[in-house]
Amino acid sequence: MKALIIGGGGFVGSYLARQLVQGCHWDTTVTKLPQEDVSVEGCEAYNLDILDQDAVEALLVRLRPDVIFHLAAQSSVAFSWKNPQKTVEINLCGSLNVLDAVRAIEGYAPRILLIGSGEEYGMLPPETELVGEDTPVHPGNPYAVTKAAQNWFGSLYARAYGMEIVMIRAFNHVGPNQAPQFVVSDFCKQAAEISLGLREPVMHVGNLSAKRDFTDVRDVVRAYALLAQHGRAGETYNVGSGTAVAIQEILTQIIAQSGAEIQVEIDPAKLRPVEIPVIRADISKLQQDTGWTPEIPLEQTIAETLDVWKQQLQK
């Protein structure tokens, strides 16, 4: 099996590459931005601008992968509020470039996984927190709007052109080496800095009452690999833990594991214009079609993320 990860230079891409090479033993190639470094043994990397459809098509003609994982995205909700135009350009136009490049190649019908987000569900009706793939989406931020549109285009192309497209709504995935603009990594970095005496013992946080569905990134990429093999074309799959955890609980665990005395202060800059109170994924469809289940507990993910931040900060 030949696999191509578009956007493999990011947090999830490196984990997915290792899963495909080491876990699945697939011939795996990744694309990245020029400034990114991909160092996964047995995995070849190419620079690619997904906004250049001709370049995308040329690479697909050269490689002809059996499976394409489309991960390339502007994935920060906070940044999407600051620059919605750039978010639309990368997340929606970039995805269409990939789909149209595949269509342009005669006799080529790879399986394509479009990676979306649990953010697509948005503001839920009162008393609703568990969301299945058929739950109506009401995206509540620019990032979520682009991912919902990507999902709709994927479904449309699967029906109209008979393409082998599987759409994924991935909920919050966390783990070592995640960028600090995401909440768990942000808290772990701050706690590591405090425990090492690199900053005052004050953590700056946003809304702590929201509850989110967190899954270790290594479990997430296992789900992606299984969906590449067993997911049904034209269908959407939630990928998450099925459990909602309060941000306050995450913070409490991180502080406890850091071993430091830490004061907590709300930073207005970390608050979102629109916040969804509670959301968790119904993963029964994923489990039924693939047999997948999450294996790595959140406590382990936090411990390993803290350790990696401490190692990096001491270099």
pLDDT at 267: 81
pLDDT at 123: 83
Task: Check whether residue 132 and residue 146 sit in a common domain.
Answer: yes
Task: Check whether residue 127 and residue 170 sit in a common domain.
Answer: yes
Residues 6+ apart with CB under 8 A from 85: none
14: pLDDT strictly greater than 90: yes
Element (H, E) at 214: strand 214-216
Task: Check whether residue 114 and residue 77 sit in a common domain.
Answer: yes
**Whole domain around residue 31: which residue ranges?**
2-174+214-242+284-290
pLDDT at 275: 61
Task: Check whether residue 49 and residue 76 sit in a common domain.
Answer: yes
Query: What average pLDDT does the chain have?
Result: 94
pLDDT at 272: 63
Q: What's the pTM value of the predicted model, to 2 decimals?
A: 0.94
pLDDT digits (tens, 9 = 90+) for 259-286: 999 998 888 877 666 566 788 999 999 9
Task: Check whether residue 196 and residue 111 sit in a common domain.
Answer: no
In this prediction, residues 286-314 reach a mean pLDDT of 97
Task: Check whether residue 95 and residue 193 sit in a common domain.
Answer: no
pLDDT at 206: 84
Task: Check whether residue 273 and residue 140 sit in a common domain.
Answer: no
pLDDT at 37: 86
Is the Cβ–Cβ distance between 214 and 245 less than 8 Å?
yes
Q: 21, 20, 28: which is closest to 46 by C-alpha? A: 28
Pull the structure tokens for residue 2: 């030949």
Residues 6+ apart with CB under 8 A from 90: 50, 51, 72, 73, 74
Backbone angles phi, psi at 277, to 5 degrees: -65, -55
Task: Check whether residue 82 and residue 188 sit in a common domain.
Answer: no
Task: Check whether residue 144 and residue 206 sit in a common domain.
Answer: no
Q: Residue 269 is part of a domain; what is its CATH number?
A: 3.90.25.10
In this prediction, residues 234-251 reach a mean pLDDT of 96
Task: Check whether residue 192 and residue 156 sit in a common domain.
Answer: no
Residues 6+ apart with CB under 8 A from 232: 166, 289
Task: Check whether residue 117 and residue 133 sit in a common domain.
Answer: yes
Share of the chain above pLDDT 70, in %: 98
233: pLDDT strictly greater than 70: yes
Domain count, the chain: 2
57: pLDDT strictly greater than 80: yes
pLDDT digits (tens, 9 = 90+) for 93-149: 999 999 999 999 999 999 999 999 999 998 888 778 899 999 999 998 999 999 999
